[in-house]
Amino acid sequence: MGDNSGDRQWTFLTNHARVLVVIARDPGVRLRDVATACVVTERTVQAIVADLEAAGYLTHAREGRRNRYHLASGMRFRHPLEGDHEITGLLDLFMAAPGDGGSVSRAAANDGVGAS
């Protein structure tokens, strides 16, 4: 094998997954901050949030001048290969600090993330 430095860059997670992880970590986050964290435009994040809400993964409620997001419980991955797994498994992986053992359900009790 040769040098791969000129190869196309890719990652394992989609922007949809990244946006969901950022919102799960902070349900009161501004979309501008989600965009910065995910290294995409705010318009891209708005479209992704709209996709996630349309598919039932996410809802929001207005609190003053801000939105507070809520993750729907029991939602499964969309692809048939992963369809028998709930997305909370993925979110648990990224919610917990290494070796912490935390979970979305425990974070939900502390941070207000929960089923709508």
pLDDT in tens, 13-60: 999 999 999 999 999 999 999 999 999 999 999 999 999 999 999 999
Q: Where are the domains of the chain?
A: 15-110
DSSP state of 7: S
Confidence band of 115 (pLDDT split at 50, 70, 90): very low
Written as one string, the DSSP assignment of 51-106 is HHHHTTSEEEEEETTEEEEEEPTT-B-SSTTTTTSBHHHHHHHHHSPTTT---HHH
Predicted pLDDT at 2:
54
Enter the pTM of the model: 0.78
**Domain 15-110 grouped into CATH 2.30.130.10:** no
Q: Is the pLDDT of residue 82 over 80?
A: yes
**How many residues in the chain?**
116
Q: How many other C-beta atoms can be found within 10 angstroms of the C-beta atom of residue 53?
A: 15
